[in-house]
Amino acid sequence: MRAEDTSLVTRTKTEQATGRTAGRAHVVLPAFNEEASLPPLLRRLSDVALAEQLTVWVVDDGSADNTAAAAEAGFGELDVRIVRHLVNLGLGRAVLSGLRAALEVAGPDDIVVVMDADDTHDPGLIRLLWNEIAAGSDVAICSRFVPGGDDRTAPLGRRLLSRGAAQLFHRALAVEGVRDFTSGYRAYRASLLARASAHWGERLIEEQGFACMVELLLKLRHCRPVITEVPLALRYDRKQGPSKLKLRRTIAQYLKLLARDRLSPAPYRKL
């Protein structure tokens, strides 16, 4: 991490010497005031079939509670590493810091998973995401809008926003294989992220709020990835604290992102 990122990386539990590894899943958890949600989520992550092949990156985005302490405590033998923002920089910057930290040690055959730290996402789906990447996908999305997906536990306003945004981006943008544009639970082939990061650098994610997930997807589409989706049953009933999503602000961010994407030229060279 560079000094200007106001972030620090520390290592806990079973981490080995830094180096490139193969066939691992790097799980990025952007976390802001998630001290209550992290312990049960880390326990669930330690229970997945791939636990010994997971590296968990908790990005403490300037939390005012004991999020960092909860991450440091880890769970069992789970390999947990912490990226610290000294101040709150927003979801987009937290995701970017987590991706960059993971890519520093990820091998070309690894995958990078981004999921919410509020325990609303089922870690058991990591196996399905892994299988999708192994079968040839470059991006695998946990989708609420494919058969088997379910978002009924989420508040009505959030559900309407997600569905409205999905329809908007589906009609306005040509991204094959995507129904759930705003899902925060995805897996990426590490080599794909490395290519995109080499091109965009610090501009890979510029949005600070929830629109960052759509922005990353729109930039990755210039790499012509194969994208597939697996069903996601959202467990909003497990959420410990209030939602951090602000409806009006997020709608404005989505519209601004769409306008910027329409006006921005495609990359000047093949990615």
What residue ranges do the domains of the chain occupy? 3-263
- CATH topology (fold) of 3-263: Spore Coat Polysaccharide Biosynthesis Protein SpsA; Chain A (3.90.550)
Neighbours of 246 (CB within 10 A): 12
| pLDDT at residue 241, as a whole number | 67
Give the pLDDT of residue 73. 95
Q: Which burial class, exposed, middle or buried, applies to 231 when counting CB atoms under 10 A from its CB (0-12, 13-18, 19+)? A: middle
Burial label, 270 (beta-carbon count in 10 A; 0-12, 13-18, 19+): exposed
pTM listed for this prediction: 0.85
Alpha-helical (H) ranges within 29-155 are 38-47, 67-73, 91-105, 126-134
**pLDDT at 18 (0 to 100):** 34
Task: Tell which residue, 78, 63, 55, 54, has the closest CA to residue 7.
Answer: 63
Give burial (CB, 10 Å; 0-12/13-18/19+) of 67.
buried
Task: Specify whether the backbone of 136 is left (phi greater than 0), alpha (psi in -120 to 50) or beta.
Answer: left
pLDDT on residue 220: 94
pLDDT, residue 260, reads: 79
Q: Which residue has the tokens 């325990």?
A: 119
Would you state the pLDDT for residue 169?
80
Residue 44 CA to residue 270 CA, distance in Å, equals 40
Edge-to-edge strand ranges of the sheet holding 227-231: 7-11, 79-85, 54-61, 25-31, 111-114, 186-189, 139-143, 227-231
One digit per residue, the tens of pLDDT, for the chain of length 271 reads 333 344 454 433 333 333 333 489 999 999 999 999 999 999 999 999 788 899 999 999 999 999 999 999 999 999 999 999 999 999 999 999 999 999 999 998 999 999 999 999 999 999 999 999 999 999 999 999 999 999 888 888 778 888 887 787 877 776 888 989 889 999 999 999 999 999 999 999 998 888 899 999 999 998 999 999 999 998 888 877 666 666 677 778 877 878 777 767 667 566 6
